[in-house]
Amino acid sequence: GAGVSQSPSNKVTEKGKDVELRCDPISGHTALYWYRQSLGQGLEFLIYFQGNSAPDKSGLPSDRFSAERTGGSVSTLTIQRTQQEDSAVYLCASSLAGPWQFFGPGTRLTVL
Amino acid sequence: TQLLEQSPQFLSIQEGENLTVYCNSSSVFSSLQWYRQEPGEGPVLLVTVVTGGEVKKLKRLTFQFGDARKDSSLHITAAQPGDTGLYLCAGPRSDSGYALNFGKGTSLLVTP
């Protein structure tokens, strides 16, 4: 497809388990962003990749969160030892230049 | 972190009515963006305002950027049920390239 895709669309896991969320950006987009959207907190920035530069991880809430971007395209967000407060919708966005970002549909994560 | 406050938080109106939602900050932004998000979807960019005092129109939607570039408003004329959604304003994080800080949004419901 032409848009940003994310998988899975829904993920239910048990507290303490690790999860991986995947993002396929729009082809050719050099920038990729991860955000988290939860009730009461709105959309929060997590991490930002731009080309081959070191990622900006300043939004990651704890060291249980990490992300990588392979080959400048697909990105995976990993949450280790999930906690109930990690339950949220995780959104990925990509952009070619400037702040104009295109968002995927998100992955809804539920930690039981 | 540059905070964006949106008001009202919720708005329920009937088809045909006019409405205005607001996005305010104590910080100056180089630009502000407005997004609309529907349930189960990622945010979709509506407009970017860049110049203080700028007014942009998108069909029945009118966006204004404050003269001091600290606030913005979105006015919808003759609202329709298709306008229902979560309206988010966002501005560039001052410390992270083009990653965005989002307001918590205004949830709009337009009933026939």
User: What's the distance, CA A28 to chain centroid?
Assistant: 18
Return d(Cα B14, Cα B66) in angstroms, integer.
28
Residue B92, Cβ neighbours under 10 Å: how many? 19
CB A46 within 8 A of CB A59: yes
Mark yes or no for CB contact B31/A91 under 8 Å. Answer: no
* pLDDT score for B96: 61
Tokens of A78: 């990993």
User: pLDDT tens track of chain B, all 112 residues?
Assistant: 678 999 999 999 999 999 999 999 999 998 999 999 998 899 999 999 999 999 999 999 999 999 999 999 999 999 999 999 999 999 988 666 778 999 999 999 999 9
CB A86 within 8 A of CB A109: yes
User: What b/e readout covers A59-85, taking b as 16+ CB neighbours within 10 angstroms?
Assistant: bbeeeebebebeeebebebebeebeee
User: CA-nearest residue of chain B to A42?
Assistant: B104
Contact residues, chain B, for A59 at CB < 8 Å? 96, 99
> Where does residue A55 fall: left (phi above 0), alpha (psi -120 to 50 degrees), or beta otherwise?
beta
Asked whether residue A17 carries a pLDDT value surpassing 60, the answer given is yes
Nearest to A86 by CA among A46, A38, A45: A38
Confidence bin at A70 (pLDDT 50/70/90): confident
Asked whether residue A1 carries a pLDDT value surpassing 60, the answer given is no
User: What b/e readout covers B54-81, taking b as 16+ CB neighbours within 10 angstroms?
Assistant: bebeeeebbbbbbeebbbbbbebeebee
The closest CB to that of A103, out of B42, B92, B99, belongs to: B42
* pLDDT score for B93: 84
Return d(Cα A93, Cα A75) in angstroms, integer.
11
* pLDDT score for A18: 98
Tokens of B63: 């966006």
* pLDDT score for B2: 72
Return d(Cα A19, Cα A65) in angstroms, integer.
10
Give the closest-approach CA distance of A80 to chain B in angstroms: 24
Contact residues, chain B, for A43 at CB < 8 Å? 43, 88, 90, 100, 102
* pLDDT score for B3: 87
Q: What is the pLDDT of residues A84-101, one digit of tens each?
A: 999 999 999 999 877 789
* pLDDT score for B1: 61
Q: What is the pLDDT of residues A25-65, one digit of tens each?
A: 999 999 999 999 998 778 999 999 988 888 999 999 999 99
